[in-house]
Amino acid sequence: MPPASFEDLARLALDGDRDAVERLVRELQGDVYGLALRMLWNREDAEDATQEILVRMVTRLSQFDF
């Protein structure tokens, strides 16, 4: 699959493309987890925070300001 920007993936996800949603989450997951781990200093808490952030991102994707 050719590289796509986060914006491209978000637009595809909003159009109902489940693969784009999965790819967007997968590509952001590592960075979100790394930031959460640096802020929380606890692996389990960082995992929980990452999951919560990614769920909120997906459920509020329609509010994204392109």
Rounded to an integer, what distance in angstroms lies between the CA atom of residue 5 and that of residue 31?
15
Rounded to an integer, what distance in angstroms lies between the CA atom of residue 21 and that of residue 41?
28
pLDDT-derived band at 1 (thresholds 50, 70, 90) equals low
Total-model pTM: 0.88
Question: Structure tokens of 24?
Answer: 């967007």
Question: Structure tokens of 23?
Answer: 């790819």
What average pLDDT does the segment 26-42 reach? Answer: 98
Q: Cα(first)–Cα(last) distance of the chain, in Å?
A: 23
Determine contact, residues 11/66, Cβ cutoff 8 Å.
yes
What's the Rg (C-alpha) of the chain?
Answer: 13
What average pLDDT does the segment 32-51 reach? Answer: 98
